[in-house]
Amino acid sequence: MLAPSVLSADFAFLQRDIQMLNESDAHWLHIDIMDGVFVPNLSFGLPVCKAIQKYAKKPMDVHLMIVNPDQYLEAFKEAGAASISVHYEACTHLHRSIQRIKSLGCKAGVAINPHTSVQLLRDVLPDLDLVCLMSVNPGFGGQKFIERTFQKTSELKNLILQNHSKALIEIDGGVNANNAKLLIEAGADVLVAGNFVFSSENPKATIADLCQKMAAVRA
Ligand code: DX5
Ligand code: ZN
């Protein structure tokens, strides 16, 4: 599946860009929430998320790059989140955060930074719907893909199988037409793509092309 990141959309034409995503082959809309504390950048928050919800016809995949995410889980559910991912590095009581997300009726995800080992997720894997592997240091769109992610993806895929987990593997950061196929081959299920989609001349065609590359591996 492909989840274009709205972070790279043109915020002055957000409705237009959401409608483009509705008409495209994209499966989910990836929504990046940054607080300027967990990551060195601010993006947008609940009011913008609600505005996206008004037009989005695809599931909103909310990625919380914030400290104290528990405080906002319910609000993001109300703002349209179908899935919510919290960061491993931001949650002291990760198991509780995951249960809270699930009790709200959302898919529960955990995101890990490039320096965090996938092995640290072993004890929560059976409870997870989604693991988001950061393939850049979170905070900004348009960064260079960290190659080590390929190994982490296969390692995580094995861990998921060993633990009888149904978690999907999502790769976030620096995804493009050169690494998409290899990531799916390594075991990824969902690719997030921001800059590569929105900086292209024809984003809808770029989405279709990425989806085709991904589908070819699984076929
Ligand atoms: C990075 C965000 C990503 C970002 C991906 O902190 O979590 O979702 O939007 O963007 P690209 O595809 O531009 O690296
Ligand atoms: Zn993200």
For residue 65, give the CATH number of its domain: 3.20.20.70
Token match 């320096």: residue? 115
- The C-alpha atoms of residue 9 and residue 185 are separated, in whole angstroms, by 28
DSSP SS3 for 218: helix
Q: What is the DSSP letter of 116?
A: S
| Residues with a CB atom less than 6 Å from ligand 1 | 5, 7-8, 30, 32, 63, 136, 138-143, 172-175, 192-196
154-206 pLDDT tens trace = 999 999 999 999 999 999 999 999 999 999 999 999 999 999 999 999 999 99
10 in catalytic set: no
153-168 pLDDT tens trace = 999 999 999 999 999 9
The DSSP string of 2-67 is EEEBGGGS-GGGHHHHHHHHHHSS---EEEEEEBSSSSS-B---HHHHHHHHHH--S-EEEEEESS
Average pLDDT of span 20-48:
98
User: What's the total number of domains in the chain?
Assistant: 1
Range of the domain at 37: 2-218
* pLDDT band at residue 219 under the 50/70/90 scheme: confident
102-128 pLDDT tens trace = 999 999 999 999 999 999 999 999 999
- The C-alpha atoms of residue 68 and residue 143 are separated, in whole angstroms, by 26
The DSSP string of 151-209 is HHHHHHHHHHHHTT--PEEEEESS--TTTHHHHHHHT--EEEESHHHHTSS-HHHHHHH
Compute CA 189 distance to the chain's CA centroid, rounded to the nearest angstrom: 11
Q: What contacts 32, CB < 8 A, 6 or more positions away?
A: 5, 6, 7, 43, 63, 65, 141, 194
209 in catalytic set: no
Which among 27, 30, 10 is positioned nearest to 172, based on CA atoms? 30
Q: Which two tokens stand for residue 159?
A: 């861990």
> Of the listed 32, 35, 61, 129, which one is catalytic?
32
Token match 């196929």: residue? 181
Q: What is the pLDDT of residue 49?
A: 98
Which among 142, 137, 171, 138 is positioned nearest to 154, based on CA atoms? 171
Which among 163, 36, 167 is positioned nearest to 112, based on CA atoms? 167
Ligand 1 atom nearest 63 alpha carbon: 7
pTM, rounded to two decimals: 0.98
Q: What is the pLDDT of residue 218?
A: 72
